[in-house]
Structure 1
């Protein structure tokens, strides 16, 4: 994909979404369930869509939330439901629609005071804390809903369900909710209960609580906050207009940290954002173009931190080094944690997705720990984080979580706040930035060269991806090296990849279709150099193209 000529430059008026029109369509457009694009569809992070094209409207939320209520009733879940939302324009509207259904079904709903924003990790941590000590079948178990399309553009909306384990719902749960919700849409919402939002507010049915303080107070259990304070680490924060914007001041006050917000804007158009590589407004904290505003401050602080709108992702900026590649920071974080968490059991595993850097494999092996390699999607880490058998779970897309310092569960969803604060802890304890630590790892294990490219794909080709294997690939070499393995299932848990991973002694590639777009993604890594990576990616594209064409 060619780089947009204004990538990294602040958005202009013509780039901004017409918010009044967007909101009016949310309420007045009825989805056509005969059109696949307008049906409820849960990808790896819930249902996402846009009111402009009929894929995220009031009827979708009413149907999805009633389906969640039905699932809760079927499973005997009767505890508090924590409801969070981010700062996208459609999130506020969807929040109101969700409340109307939840309260009509007599669900005990807790929201942030003043109906403000709540990050995904805060909802997850609240669920974990509420359920601590309760048996699996306890009727008082809590769960949650988060209204967010993550880092998607301003016109998009999203909603996801976190069951009592606190993390993203498993595929069988999301499939059940998806099918139930589409049945409600097909039957014109028959059976969906609703209570007028104004009526619910007037009679005090919405329970507002301070969700910020418990989360901030508990941070000391997972991060060495005292070390950061003693060292006087200077931290620059760009919330990217996201849901955690009001958390940083509370964190600074409670722990005496030197934290500065370099951007305190909240705006549903996200008009303060620099454009991403494709010229779109996208709050992607792993993109140097979207993070261009924070990068201007990189030499003013010991570390700068950015997060996406629901705060489940992190971007780490180090002085003179710029934005760290997510794979590089994951490697540093894992190495540091395994060296500085003495209470962690030697039996704890480290989780990574199979498209994350192989440098992580080498680091984990050097600490004599077991690696758990899983398919793409944070849901694969949930059980291990929940039962504290997995010390760390991380995705190549800049999302991760890890256990408390004592080895117990912190949360079971991605937490961009603790990953950001961990960077400050690393500086405080070691005197080196995460970028400097990465270079130390490179000197020890060798440099890896990593890339991801996206290519268009039609529906027929997308369906063929699940049938790819060593036979359909029909190849013995990759970038001049003998192929050593062709994987269709993840070695860590045996789950289907939904695509394919091919390895050699000098590199690997993986290919899988996007869960939300008409694209397939190819990830590749070379252990040799950039030229070898170029050849590897070219070969990978051709191999996948030929396999999809020839697969019957």
Structure 2
């Protein structure tokens, strides 16, 4: 704020200085830029997201409302590092009190604008009339005030499970490695809410900036993100009658192929993109997709009339959708998922990390399908070897290998010296283990030959 005001940049902050989640920023950007005025807005979020509290980051959302693409983030990184290396020489800055009282800083009621618009994307009436018990855990993050406002505005039976906000997040159950993470897809982090699940018909969690979701049901506990995304897609296809029939369903390539099966059965098309929600942004912009989701518990979808809602992940909307599904169908999402697997097959899915040098990671990121000489995978003929997505020709940043009933993707980690293997089998857990073992061998052999 001190730097923005000093440089004459007009900024809108929350009217009550409340924390503001990523989806509310995306929603506000799109709302402002759809008014046809001369000025165009963008946004900044400072957040650790689902990472440890000390790993906070600077997140930039452009005028399209979505996460910045690689060209923009590389420029920002280069510029920021250059300024830091020069001791911030030349950076204009004024005291905070002077900044917020300047003509450059204005107020905006992010909570009221976002919460008041939720009925355009969700059936809040069916949630309210069902009186299902909803438990919402912000995990100490920016969605806290939004959940309180949702309960008040729509008069739904919603309890804010943990009303505490603390920048240390010391009340969060430790993750698998005994680190604090606000990861709402982790069974360790969500254990406190899972233990309280009998008090609610549906319970939800969000990460620090509320762009991710975690769904807890009474019988299943914390749902696997792939399972819930599958349920969400099927339900929305069947209950959003005003969505354009020609619009596609978007998913990352490493998200379960069960979605492909049910979407194609419904007569719609699937758009597969590389890992990263940024790849969905142009599709949401031109309204050629009505849903975009990734296996890391991030997704968003369009309004009930087919217009774009946000171009970034929205964990609040995805959490409320679980309540709508439960209220409208009478089934919890885990029961809904089991019914889908009986119709389309039961997938077995896993993600594993394997140690890799930086050189290995560079090689893997540039690997092509032609690099793989094998013709079979876990006893089946290989039908696909891809380094770019089909249809839209986007770089996978690794390789995808598919058969009739299984697939794997191998790609380097962006933060650690490992490569990640995502794999799925529609046969069995044993077959999945075979797929993963052979995937490691295939990638290992390809790296040795380089």
Q: Give the TM-score of the pair, scaled to structure 1.
A: 0.79
Q: Tell me by how many angstroms 1:387 deviates.
A: 2.0
Q: Where does residue 337 of structure 2 map in the other structure?
A: 438
Q: Please tell me whether the aligned partners of residues 127 and 164 of structure 1 are also in contact (alpha carbons under 8 angstroms).
A: yes
Q: Where does residue 274 of structure 2 map in the other structure?
A: 375
Q: Where does residue 530 of structure 1 map in the other structure?
A: 429
1:219 aligns with 2:219: no
Q: Residue 148 of structure 1 is aligned with which of 47, 51, 57?
A: 47
Distance 1:311 1:536 in 2: 34
Q: Where does residue 7 of structure 2 map in the other structure?
A: 105
Matches within 5 A, 1:101-500: 101-134=3-36, 139-201=38-100, 203=102, 205-500=104-399
Q: Secondary structure at the match of 1:299?
A: helix
Distance 2:357 2:239 in 1: 48
Q: Deviations over 1:182-231 (max 9, x none)?
A: 33334433332222223323556532332101111000000000010011
* Number of aligned residue pairs: 450
Q: Tell me by how many angstroms 1:436 deviates.
A: 0.8
Q: Please tell me whether the aligned partners of residues 371 and 492 of structure 1 are also in contact (alpha carbons under 8 angstroms).
A: no
Distance 2:113 2:84 in 1: 38
Distance 1:103 1:328 in 2: 45
Distance 2:358 2:142 in 1: 35
Runs of 4+ that moved beyond 6 A: none
Q: Please tell me whether the aligned partners of residues 386 and 411 of structure 1 are also in contact (alpha carbons under 8 angstroms).
A: no
Distance 1:531 1:158 in 2: 40
Distance 1:492 1:253 in 2: 45
Q: Tell me by how many angstroms 1:155 deviates.
A: 1.5
Q: Please tell me whether the aligned partners of residues 316 and 423 of structure 1 are also in contact (alpha carbons under 8 angstroms).
A: yes
Over the residues paired in the alignment, what is the CA RMSD in angstroms? 1.4
Q: Please tell me whether the aligned partners of residues 370 and 385 of structure 2 are also in contact (alpha carbons under 8 angstroms).
A: no
Q: Secondary structure at the match of 1:525?
A: strand
Q: Tell me by how many angstroms 1:471 deviates.
A: 3.2
Deviates most, 190-199 or 121-130:
190-199
Distance 1:148 1:203 in 2: 25
Distance 1:100 1:474 in 2: 57
Distance 1:139 1:475 in 2: 56
Distance 2:183 2:391 in 1: 28
Distance 1:400 1:475 in 2: 34
Residues 374 and 538 of structure 1, relative CA distance in 2, 3 Å threshold: same
Deviates most, 474-483 or 419-428:
474-483
Q: Please tell me whether the aligned partners of residues 235 and 259 of structure 1 are also in contact (alpha carbons under 8 angstroms).
A: yes
Q: Secondary structure at the match of 1:436?
A: helix
Note the residue ranges of structure 1 that are not aligned, 5 or more in a row. 1-98
Q: Give the TM-score of the pair, scaled to structure 2.
A: 0.97
Q: Tell me by how many angstroms 1:465 deviates.
A: 1.4
Distance 2:355 2:14 in 1: 41
Matches within 5 A, 1:15-30: none
Q: Please tell me whether the aligned partners of residues 374 and 492 of structure 1 are also in contact (alpha carbons under 8 angstroms).
A: no
Q: Deviations over 1:311-332 (max 9, x none)?
A: 0000011111111110111110
Distance 1:278 1:526 in 2: 28
Q: Please tell me whether the aligned partners of residues 354 and 375 of structure 1 are also in contact (alpha carbons under 8 angstroms).
A: yes
Q: Deviations over 1:114-173 (max 9, x none)?
A: 422100000000001111143xxx640111011112100121110111111100112222
Q: Where does residue 441 of structure 2 map in the other structure?
A: 542
Q: Where does residue 38 of structure 1 map in the other structure?
A: none
Distance 1:384 1:286 in 2: 26
Deviates most, 261-270 or 293-302:
261-270
Q: Secondary structure at the match of 1:329?
A: helix
Residues 247 and 518 of structure 1, relative CA distance in 2, 3 Å threshold: same
